[in-house]
Amino acid sequence: MLLTTLTALALAAAPARPVVLAPAEAESIATAIAKDREDTRAWLKGAPTSYLATVRRVDFLARTSLSVGRAADNDVRLDDPSLAAHHLRVTVAGDSFRVAALDDTAHFVAGKAVQRAATVSPSSIQAGRFALRLSHQRFPAIIVFDPRSPRFADYKGIDYFPIDLRLRYVLPLIPNPHPDTTVILSTRGNQRRAVRVGWFDFMMAGTRCRLEAERLLEPCVGEHDVAVFFRDATTGKESYGVGRYLDPQALADGRYVLDFNLAYNPACAYSEHYNCPIPPRANHLTVAVRAGEKDSHYQH
């Protein structure tokens, strides 16, 4: 037990170096990253769940429920003749939402089931041609997706830095001995609560770097989910001005893969209808992380 503890401390004390990959493994990883980038471009270009499909956001604010339908007096008006004038009522129910039909002809689709009433977790439902994302994050809202969104005409691809596997690390998460609750500010001015679970220490461009890892205290965030929100010397220049995100991949031995080639922009880089975490000041790196997603300038 003592040896295990000392080994863990030794690992934590030494910042990680980039992982050394065999040629075949490096080629396989690079191919997978390239395919994921092409899939993401295709999704953004025309998928009904694309960021460019968003046309409206309605926050609940002090209200506990919102009405949805074709009539102008609804909280969320949907211009679709297949919908009833007053089609649905969506009510916040703790960490979930209660969705109920308001008209004898009204229904919605949750998952693959046609429903007239259901309690659903934060997710998407279908009403006519529209998808309604029931977003919680402790600041509930309905985000409307339209497959006929005019924003699709703005599509201009996604820019990425070249794949550089020298910016891929396998490293331990240095645990926070006293996991504390912190506040993560968001792009809509909300204060989102999170647990600071620990830190990743690594070397990049000859500089010792540290990134803190958070777990947002929000519905649908798993007990072991870890997120990294960061800025670097490319932020606001080559990469998106708010910052970028990275999802560490847990390994069976307790370590994580931290691959900056997988760094991605938050949804608010593409649409005004999202509420995105802003990287904490502790995660402002002085080095330039030229890996992952660039700023394709969908939002100015």
The pLDDT tens digits for 81-115 are: 999 999 999 999 999 999 999 999 999 999 999 99
Q: CATH number for the domain including 119?
A: 2.60.200.20
Locate 232 and state its tokens: 């670097």
The pLDDT confidence band at residue 216, using thresholds 50, 70 and 90, is very high
Residue at a domain's end among 146, 176, 197? 146
Q: What is the mean pLDDT of the chain?
A: 95
Does 295 have pLDDT greater than 80?
Answer: yes
6 pLDDT higher than 70: no
pLDDT at residue 12, rounded to an integer: 53
**298 inside domain:** no
Q: For the chain, list the strands marked E by DSSP.
A: 54-59, 65-69, 76-77, 88-93, 96-101, 108-110, 113-115, 117-120, 124-127, 130-135, 141-145, 168-171, 174-185, 191-204, 207-216, 228-230, 244-246, 249-250, 256-259
Q: Which residue has the higher pLDDT, 41 or 179?
A: 41
140 and 185 assigned to the same domain: no
Q: What is residue 75's predicted lDDT score, i.e. its pLDDT?
A: 98
Rounded Cα distance between 289 and 112, Å, is 41
Q: How far apart are the first and last CA of the chain?
A: 54
In a domain, 290, yes or no: no
Same domain, 97 and 195: no
pLDDT digits (tens, 9 = 90+) for 133-171: 999 999 999 999 999 999 999 999 999 999 999 999 999
Residues 169, 258, single domain; the answer is yes
* Per-residue 3-state assignment (H helix, E strand, C coil) for 9-63: HHHHHCCECCCCCCHHHHHHHHHHHHHHHHHHHHHHHHCCCCHHHEEEEEECCCC
Residues 116, 100 contacting (CB under 8 angstroms):
yes
Query: Tokens in use for 262?
Result: 């997988």
Residue 291 placed within a domain = no
Structural domain for 209, as ranges: 2-47+156-283
For the whole model, what pTM was predicted? 0.92
In a domain, 289, yes or no: no
Of the candidates 29, 18, 2, 43, the one whose C-alpha atom is nearest the C-alpha of residue 171 is: 18
pLDDT at 7: 45
Distance CA 91, CA 138 (A): 14
Beta-strand relationship, 228-230 and 113-115: unpaired
**Residue 206 shares a structural domain with residue 161:** yes
Q: How far apart are CA 188 and CA 203, in angstroms?
A: 33
Positive or negative, the Cα torsion across 259, 190, 60, 267? Answer: negative
Query: Nearest 5°: phi and psi at 122?
Result: -55, 120
Same domain, yes or no: 168 and 269:
yes
Q: Percent of the chain scored above 90 by pLDDT? A: 93
Strand duo 244-246 + 168-171: pairing: unpaired
Q: pLDDT category, 13, cuts 50, 70, 90?
A: low
For residue 14, what pLDDT band results from cuts at 50, 70 and 90? confident
* Pair (242, 199) in one structural domain: yes
On whether both 233 and 180 belong to a single domain, the answer is yes
Q: Are residues 169 and 220 in the same domain?
A: yes
- Whether residue 209 lies inside any domain: the answer is yes
Residues 29 and 68 in one domain: no
If one counts the domains in the chain, the total is 2
CA 51/CA 116 separation, integer angstroms: 28
Tell me if 294 is assigned to some domain. no
Question: What's phi and psi for 74, nearest 5 deg?
Answer: -75, 155
213 and 88 share a domain? Answer: no
How many Cβ atoms from other residues are within 10 Å of residue 237's Cβ?
11
